[in-house]
Amino acid sequence: TKPESDRTKVALPQGINQTTFRTAIAELCDRLGDEYVEFVTKLDDGWYMENPNTHDGMHISDDSDFVASVVVYPGSTEEVQTIVQWANAYRIPISPISIGRNYGYGGAAPRVRGAVVLDLGRRMNRILDINPDDCTCLVEPGVTYFALYEEIQARGFQHLWVDVPDIGGGSVLGNALDRGVGYTPYGDHWMMHCGLEVVLPTGEVIRTGMGALPGNNSWQLFPYGFGPTADGIFSQSNMGVVTKMGFGLMPNPGDHESYLYTFPKDEDLSQLIDIIRPLRIAMILENVAQLRHISMQVGLEGKPRSSYYKGKGRMPDSFIHEAAQSLSHGDCSWLYYGMSYGPKEIRQYKLDIIHKEFMKIPGARRIDPASLLQMTTSGFETESPLGSPISKNSAGPVSPVRGNDAMALWDIARKRCDEYDLDFFPTFVVGLREMHLIVEIVFNRDDPAMRNNARACLRGMIDDAAKRGYGEYRTHLAFMDQIAGTYNWNNGALLKFNEKIKDCLDPNGIMAPGKSGIWPARYRGRGWEM
């Protein structure tokens, strides 16, 4: 049993009194075992390999905003059902996470203070299937990219690849559900998923696609099954707890070769993006590549900001370029990191086209990978790039792959960063026919003024972008209402539709209230939106 003092410090969910809460948690302990129910009495921000499951370790607002009361560790789909039924009986909000890293988007935090976090990752971490012939897998929420990779190696299936979004500590299932992306041709993780098992907010379990047919042999092969495809409503949503998810895995294409081009001027962006579009759609540029600004590259060096610049506000461009002189590829404004796949003769055909097209930009340079200390196409810094204690939050507006759109997004982001005295680390990520500008806002989370600026800056960017027709693809908990509000065609018809589904599937409004701006009836219009 937990010490008395632990029980009094926790953040209670609104509308639940201390006595009811204690009774409810005691019942949960009885059903699952004391050791799988933990009160949240202290918040430790942790680090990459030990991300907190109680709150957002990169908090952009006050510690107290998005905090769990209790973390519970179910061990099976049946136990998830038990918890969901329990939550309905007491009207206690619950919030599922897999690993809960979710960096830049709210981490493991629930949207409503005092919710019970369902940490599925700790115990539900089995790899249920790896099929070396079909190149598929079926995983539980706690399977990380590292774990999947290691199991593939251990089983001797070296021909199977795993597409990772950053360095591999996150949940394969969680990342795909929230529509995270990686960098190989299988980088659109949601697109590559095939088949879900979901516990609905009222406790029933469904399997989607072919999984609904008993005895089927193609759950991970054909995503649609028969009838409406339900999968979409469980992505970036609060309509259920996903307990199993299938994926296609990329077979090793024979060989691969990374390449890097640099471009000298900020203004080259426009021409470069117009060069990229047809090459990407035609898959000459084969992967979800990154077009990184030099400021990001300098930031990734891992040195404190003060070693480059001691002034306030955004680090002036001249200092960034000076710092870039010492990088192995030298100074530039933009870097395109890409990968070519297949045997030498196939690669060479594509690389020659890429070279010819990229070299149309005056001053473009192809960097010999051998000349670099370390060639990386990974997603983002894992340690504080510019001092400590550092946090990051991102904005990710979606746009066409066009030079004038790229310049417009760049302009919006830079103006807002200047306005709020924040450094600016832009990267364009070209999906296939669209791109997002990922703007990492890096701030000191112990500095309330800087934190407020980071929030205001992101809010400003979201509004400016929406006014010009650009919408965010994913966001932090704090901005979900604002962004859901920008997708408001025809009087907010889409949000109304989502709310209708929500009220139908989750009549007591217990499942992650407010996630993606979708509030259940019990909460809607009662001051929760922010």
Interface ranges with ligand ADP (CB under 6 A):
96-102, 120, 141, 170-171, 173-175, 177-178, 241-242, 515
Q: Which is nearer to ligand ADP, 170 or 187 (CB)?
A: 170
Q: How far is the CB of 100 from ligand ADP (least distance, A)?
A: 4
Q: Of 36, 73, 103, 105, which one is the catalytic site residue? A: 105
Q: Which is nearer to ligand ADP, 71 or 364 (CB)?
A: 71
State the CB neighbour count (10 A cutoff) for residue 75: 14
Cα torsion for 322, 267, 412, 190, to the nearest 10°?
-100
CA nearest 268: which of 294, 286, 287?
A: 294
Cα torsion for 85, 88, 94, 98, to the nearest 10°?
30
Three-state SS annotation for 367-421: ECHHHCCCCCCCCCCCCCCCCCCEEEEEECEEEECCHHHHHHHHHHHHHHHHHCC
Q: Of 207, 292, 347, 474, which one is the catalytic site residue? A: 474
Q: How far is the CB of 432 from ligand ADP (least distance, A)?
A: 22
Residue 526 annotated as catalytic: no
Q: Which is nearer to ligand ADP, 96 or 403 (CB)?
A: 96
Distance CA 229, CA 246 (A): 15
At 55 the three-state DSSP class reads: strand
Show the tokens assigned to 250: 């990329």
Distance CA 143, CA 167 (A): 14
Q: How far is the CB of 176 from ligand ADP (least distance, A)?
A: 8
Q: How far is the CB of 402 from ligand ADP (least distance, A)?
A: 30
Residue 474 annotated as catalytic: yes
At 22 the three-state DSSP class reads: helix
Q: What DSSP string describes 288-310?
A: --EEEEHHHHHHTT---GGGT--
Q: Which is nearer to ligand ADP, 170 or 520 (CB)?
A: 170
Q: Are 499 and 524 in contact (CB under 8 A)?
A: yes
Q: Please report how the helices 18-32 and 77-90 are oriented relative to each other, as an axis angle in degrees rounded to 10.
A: 160
Q: How far is the CB of 137 from ligand ADP (least distance, A)?
A: 16
Q: Which is nearer to ligand ADP, 135 or 511 (CB)?
A: 511
Q: How far is the CB of 105 from ligand ADP (least distance, A)?
A: 7
Q: Of 90, 336, 341, 473, which one is the catalytic site residue? A: 473
Q: How far is the CB of 11 from ligand ADP (least distance, A)?
A: 18
Q: Is the dihedral of CA 63, 64, 66, 72 positive or negative?
A: positive
Q: How far is the CB of 434 from ligand ADP (least distance, A)?
A: 21
Q: Residue 358 contacts by C-beta under 8 Å, 6 or more apart in sequence?
A: 261, 263, 272, 275, 336, 364, 366
Q: Which is nearer to ligand ADP, 196 or 210 (CB)?
A: 196
Length of the chain: 530
Distance (Å) of CA 212 to CA 52, 124, 138, 223, 231: 35, 22, 15, 11, 12
Whether the bond between 389 and the residue before it is cis, its omega within 30 degrees of 0, is yes
Q: Which is nearer to ligand ADP, 143 or 450 (CB)?
A: 143
Q: Which is nearer to ligand ADP, 178 or 464 (CB)?
A: 178
Strands 256-263 and 365-367: antiparallel
Q: Are 301 and 385 in contact (CB under 8 A)?
A: yes
State the CB neighbour count (10 A cutoff) for residue 425: 27
Active site residues: 105, 473-474
